[in-house]
Amino acid sequence: METTDAVKRLSALAQDSRLAVFRLLVRAGPEGMAAGEIARALEITPNTLSAQLTVLANAGLTTSRRDGRSIIHAADYEGMSGLLVYLMEDCCQGRPEVCAPLAEAASRAACCEGAQA
Amino acid sequence: METTDAVKRLSALAQDSRLAVFRLLVRAGPEGMAAGEIARALEITPNTLSAQLTVLANAGLTTSRRDGRSIIHAADYEGMSGLLVYLMEDCCQGRPEVCAPLAEAASRAACCEGAQA
DNA sequence: TCTATATTTCCACATATTTGGAATTATGGA
DNA sequence: TCCATAATTCCAAATATGTGGAAATATAGA
């Protein structure tokens, strides 16, 4: 991933309500949630939410599809991975001891056993 | 980590030159770099860099110590870990398949074998 | 103490971001 | 076709952010 994209993704997440939206979608899983549902859950006005979802989508952190009158938004786990990899990328230039805390954090976060590819 | 801190850290990284500074420090390792050295490396004026380093430090992403006339700045790997854990936290609410890409990314990024705690 | 170097603080300007009201577009059902 | 619901677009105002010039502070050495 390019630096430009990383900054875009970080910026998208670097805001209270947008981070809340993203985390809600992460918790919602691959099925996602309708925009209106998200707006009600987080008490954000629909037009503001729409703008925020646009930012997240442009950054490559969410996807959307229409279902009837609703637009269903979902977290883009691949996009998220890309960012995490980018952030950890330079951590150990021949210095294993440096990235130990990061690697440890990553494995701790890999909460569900089955996921340990 | 609290959401407020996460937003602070994301905001700190969500800017071209600040991300460049942080990555340079990550690459520099625990010994860190003098402010002037960073400024020359990235062609940023010293006062601007100073402001940016303040943001990174306040976010808990860098530390600093004086050494003679220089101030040495270093990446705070623990602070970084905290953010990564926070971001991955909610990824698999009983859905192992969801966080698989994230876990995979994390282990791929744990580049140096010795670091696999 | 005086001078040079390293960094920070103060300040102001230019730019970007966040937000919501009002209007608009899209879909489904009667 | 007409209406209600769902979401978006347009626009403008308030706020926040990034930047660098000039001045101030801190340290080392002569």
**B99 neighbourhood in chain A, CB within 8 Å:** 77, 110-112, 115
| CB contact at 8 A, B46 and B35 | yes
The tens digit of pLDDT for each residue in B66-114 reads 999 999 999 999 999 899 889 888 776 656 666 676 666 666 665 554 4
Round and report the angstrom distance from CA (B71) to C1' (D28). Answer: 14
- Taking the C-alpha atoms of residue A75 and residue A60, their distance in angstroms, rounded to an integer, is 9
What 8-state DSSP symbol labels residue A93? Answer: S
Domain ranges of chain B: 1-111
- The CATH number that domain A3-78 falls under is 1.10.10.10
| Inter-chain CB proximity B84 and A15 less than 8 Å | no
The tens digit of pLDDT for each residue in B23-69 reads 999 999 999 999 999 999 999 999 999 999 999 999 999 999 999 99
**A84 neighbourhood in chain B, CB within 8 Å:** 84, 87-88, 102, 105-106, 109
B69 CB-near residues (< 8 Å, 6+ apart): none
Three-class DSSP category at A20: helix
For A51, how many CA atoms within 13 A lie in the half-sphere containing its CB?
A: 6
| Inter-chain CB proximity B107 and A116 less than 8 Å | yes
Architecture of the B1-111 domain: Orthogonal Bundle (1.10)
Three-class DSSP category at A14: coil
| CB contact at 8 A, B67 and B34 | yes
